[in-house]
Structure formats: structure tokens, C-alpha cells
Amino acid sequence: MKSNTRVSNAIIRRLPRYRRYLAELRNQGVKKISSNELSELIGYTASQIRQDLNTFGGFGQQGYGYSVDYLYKEINKILGLDREYKTVVVGFGNLGQAITNYTYYYKIGFNIIGLFDVNPRIIGLSINGVEVMDYSLLEDFVRDNGIDIGIICVNRENAQDVADTLVRGGVEGIWNFAPVDLDIPDDVAIENVHLSESLHTLSFQIRSKELEKANRK
Amino acid sequence: MKSNTRVSNAIIRRLPRYRRYLAELRNQGVKKISSNELSELIGYTASQIRQDLNTFGGFGQQGYGYSVDYLYKEINKILGLDREYKTVVVGFGNLGQAITNYTYYYKIGFNIIGLFDVNPRIIGLSINGVEVMDYSLLEDFVRDNGIDIGIICVNRENAQDVADTLVRGGVEGIWNFAPVDLDIPDDVAIENVHLSESLHTLSFQIRSKELEKANRK
């Protein structure tokens, strides 16, 4: 496999999507698939798909197509899903609870082993066998337990402080749900989920479609 | 203002971000700002910013910069945030509850007026004054109440059925949290939040940074 340290952002966004479709095919017992068939499923062109997969060395055989199982496993490796991650959730309000449950039920490989909040009424609660701890214990916990990923579910005002604490503790990555752009060292990975911006993109599209309809009349 | 029905996808993604920074500046009492100052805050180049804002007719004055309040309000209009939206949440499990609370507390203008589930133990519960109703009532409710947006928080297997029902009821847009690509008519807006794919993008970045570190040694 070629080194993937210089892969474009666009491919990185497409890979999890390939994985999702391959997981479905695998569950359906499909053994092999051509780039044309993949194209029909996923909606990218067949040449785009071949080009994407070639970036990582290419896994297809001329005249046969791709082995679904092999391609799925290789994409898992590329995505770093061939290992487990120790994670903590910081901020155990509605969103933190939802993300914790979501991750617990669906995300094999991302194990939440610590929950943190500042609210004394929440600290001490236990969810899926994990206790909610006082935020002041976060840095030591991250360091002592070799936490890989911190999930930030606090509000905008406190998010940078949480990020700094996670970084001091030594996390490799941050999954940020706070509506703010965090200042993070280059060697720590960051992925933002900005729900408000997603909702505003939707309202923009709704307005655009209304304008289109009005223009057509 | 120029028509915005043919605006690139990239600008649509940047506008909510402009809005977020302008909202902060406005809260801080900042009256005007230059494209260079905006550039330093947001991280896009000043020329990118001028180009983006020109797409919609341009709001700046040479030598003065932009009026923060005016620009904020104009971007709100472009994003369709100068009106209210009636929404329903379908699927009232952990994620549905979180999105409901999140929207209730933070998203002025997006009013949740109906909650739906199939689980008899959840139907009849009341949250923030809104009762959880039986899923079989969804289509009529959407039609009778002129619902604008349906928020899909069910699992992958049921998401297309929910989308079809929402479309039959007449929604203008769908905010989809199910990990599946939905088949939607062209005149209905769709915005996906694929949390798994976001998490896999994070693990990919973590792996890439580990490879970079290993290569440097």
C-alpha cells in the first residue's frame, strides 16, 4: 500500500462512504463488484472510483472487479478502523448523552471509558457501566489511561479549555460538537460536527428551491 | 441582491461559518470590519471573502469595510433565516431526543411542533410541551400543519420509508441523521449528518498523523 499521508481532503470524505456501501454489500453476501456496479450504487463515476482506489495502490483485478470483503477490510485499514480507540466524552448534557449512547450501540472500536461534566447533579451517574466524573480529573484520567480521542460536547464558551486539557493529557484526536473552531496543535487530529451550520445549509437550500420555483412561474 | 439559485456548493458551506463569526462580532458590539480583519478571524483569504460576498451582490464599501450588523442580516436572509420553520422529529430514541433538545434550546426559528415514534412506551410522552405521537399519524400531521422540515432520527432500515412519508405530506426539506443516502425528489432539500463517516474521517486523520510521525523518525 502506498503511503497515504498526502491524500486529498475530498478522497478522505469519500472513503467512509465507500466503506458504508461495502459493509452493506458484505452483509448481503455479495462477493465481488465492478467499478461500474459500485458507481451505480454510490453515485460517483466508475472512473472516479477507480482513481480513488488507485490512490491507495488499487485492489481490483482486470475483468474481475473488486473483492467486496478484501476491499472492505483494506478501506478499514486505511481509515484506521483496524484498531480500537479509547475515548472520553466531555460534557454530559443532552448531546453528550446522545453521542455516548450512539457510540456505545453502534461504533464498535470506539470505546468510551470516561465521561466528564462540571454539574454536581450529573457527576456520579453511571451509564453503560461508566461513571460520570468531575471535569477537574480529566487531564490525569486521559494521561493515566492512554486516551486516544476526546469527544467535546460542552458549549462554545468552554470548548477551547476542554480541548487544551485533552491535548495536555495526550489525546491523538478530538471530535468536536461545540460550535466553535478550536486551536489545536498540528499533531492532533480534529473533526468538527457543526450542527447549526448543517441546519443553515438546509434552510439555504429550501430558500433556493423556493426561488427556483418562483422563477419558473 | 443577485439570484442565488446557482451558487456553488463550496460557498454554501462557507456562508454559515461567516454567519457564526459575524454573530460573535455583533454580540461583542463590533460595528464594522474589513475583509482583512474577517480573513484573520475566519482563516479564509481576504480576496476569497470579497469574492464570496460579491456573489450575492457585495455589501462592502471601499475604504470602510463591512457593517457587521448589515452583513449579518443579509447573510441571514441568504441562508433563509429571516423566517420561521415548522419541523417534526421522527424517531425519538437517544439521538432524536438530543436533536430535539438541541433545537429547542439553541435554534431560534426552527420550531419543533411534532414528535413521532413507533414505540408504544415512548408515544404519549411530552417534551417541552410537545407530545410524542404514533408514527402512523405522521403524513396527515405534516400536511395539516404545513410542516416545512422533517428531521429523521430513525435507523437506516426505516429512513427511506420516513422520507417518503414526509415528502407525501409536503415537507420542503429533510435533515437526515440516518446513515443512508435517501432517494428524494429534486424539489425537496436534503442535508445529511452522517456521524459515523465523521468519526471515520477522524480515525483516518489519526492514522495519517501516526504514519507522518513514524516517517519522520
Q: How far apart are CA B4 and CA A209, in angstroms?
A: 10
Tally the residues of chain A: 217
pLDDT the model gives residue B66: 86
pLDDT the model gives residue A94: 81
CB atoms within 10 A of CB A120: 8
Highest mean pLDDT among A190-199, B64-73, B131-140: B131-140
Q: How far apart are CA A95 and CA A154, in angstroms?
A: 9
CB atoms within 10 A of CB B95: 24
pLDDT the model gives residue A9: 73
**Contact B20/A207, CB-based, under 8 Å?**
no
Q: How far is CA A86 from CA A96, A185, B203, B210, in A?
A: 16, 20, 12, 16
Q: How far apart are CA B47 and CA B51, in angstroms?
A: 6
Provide the pLDDT confidence category of residue B62 given band limits of 50, 70 and 90: low
Chain A residues with CB-CB distance to B179 below 8 A: 20
User: Across the interface, which of A3, A12, A102 has its CB nearest the CB of B211?
Assistant: A3
Phi then psi for B53, rounded to 5 degrees? -70, -25
Grid cell in block for residue B141: 400531521
**Contact A19/B173, CB-based, under 8 Å?**
no
Chain B interface includes A9 (CB < 8 A): no
DSSP, residue by residue, B155-197: -HHHHHHHHHHHHHHT-SEEEE-SSS-----TTSEEEE--HHH
User: Across the interface, which of A79, A193, A210 has its CB nearest the CB of B203?
Assistant: A79
Chain A residues with CB-CB distance to B85 below 8 A: 203, 206
Q: How far apart are CA B124 and CA A26, in angstroms?
A: 39
pLDDT the model gives residue A132: 97
Q: Is the pLDDT higher at B119 or at B127?
A: B119
The pairing of strands A189-192 and A149-152 is unpaired
| Positions in chain A short of pLDDT 50 | 1-5
Phi then psi for B3, rounded to 5 degrees? -65, 140
Taking a contact as any Cβ pair under 8 Å apart, which residues of chain A between 24 and 83 contact chain B?
43, 78-81
B134 pLDDT higher than 70: yes
Phi-psi region of A173 (alpha: psi -120 to 50; beta: other; left: phi over 0): beta
Which residue, A153, A198, A190, A208, is CA-closest to B20? A198
pLDDT the model gives residue A107: 64
Chain A residues with CB-CB distance to B188 below 8 A: 209
Provide the pLDDT confidence category of residue B60 given band limits of 50, 70 and 90: low
**Contact A189/B202, CB-based, under 8 Å?**
yes
The pairing of strands B126-127 and B110-117 is unpaired
Q: What is the mean pLDDT of chain B?
A: 88
B7 pLDDT higher than 90: no
Taking a contact as any Cβ pair under 8 Å apart, which residues of chain B between 158 and 197 contact chain A?
172-173, 175, 179, 181, 187-191, 193-197
CB A87, CB A81: distance < 8 Å: no
Provide the pLDDT confidence category of residue B203 given band limits of 50, 70 and 90: very high
Residue of B nearest to A79 (CA): B204
For the segment B106-119, the average pLDDT, to the nearest whole number, is 89
Grid cell in block for residue B110: 426552527
pLDDT the model gives residue A4: 44
For the segment B134-147, the average pLDDT, to the nearest whole number, is 98
Phi then psi for A130, rounded to 5 degrees? -110, 130
- Dump strand ranges (E) for chain B: 32-33, 66-67, 85-90, 110-117, 126-127, 130-134, 149-152, 173-176, 189-192
CB B177, CB B185: distance < 8 Å: no
User: How many inter-chain contacts (A to B, CB under 8 Å) are there?
Assistant: 186
pLDDT the model gives residue B5: 46
User: Across the interface, which of A5, A206, A209 has its CB nearest the CB of B211?
Assistant: A5
> pTM (2 decimals)?
0.84
Grid cell in block for residue B211: 504514519
Provide the pLDDT confidence category of residue B214 given band limits of 50, 70 and 90: confident
**Contact B5/A78, CB-based, under 8 Å?**
no
Q: How far apart are CA A132 and CA A144, in angstroms?
A: 17
pLDDT the model gives residue B177: 94
Q: At CA A123, angle to CA A119 and CA A125, rounded to 5? A: 130
Residue-wise pLDDT for B161-171, tens only, equals 999 999 999 99
pLDDT the model gives residue B106: 67
Phi-psi region of A128 (alpha: psi -120 to 50; beta: other; left: phi over 0): left
**Contacts of B171 by beta carbon, 8 Å cutoff, 6+ apart:** B142, B147, B148, B149, B150, B188
Percent of chain B at pLDDT > 90 equals: 53
Provide the pLDDT confidence category of residue B159 given band limits of 50, 70 and 90: very high
The kind and range of the H/E element at A85 are strand A85-90
pLDDT the model gives residue B61: 67
Provide the pLDDT confidence category of residue B50 given band limits of 50, 70 and 90: confident
CB B192, CB B163: distance < 8 Å: no
**Contact A20/B80, CB-based, under 8 Å?**
no
pLDDT the model gives residue A3: 43
**Contact B208/A19, CB-based, under 8 Å?**
no
Q: Which residues pair with A133 in a beta bridge?
A: A116
Phi-psi region of B58 (alpha: psi -120 to 50; beta: other; left: phi over 0): left
- Using CA of residue A142, residue A145, residue A150, residue A156, what is the dihedral sign? negative
CA of residue B10 relative to chain centroid, distance: 15
User: Across the interface, which of A12, A43, A204 has its CB nearest the CB of B204?
Assistant: A12
Chain A interface includes B200 (CB < 8 A): yes
Residue-wise pLDDT for B78-96, tens only, equals 899 999 999 999 999 888 9
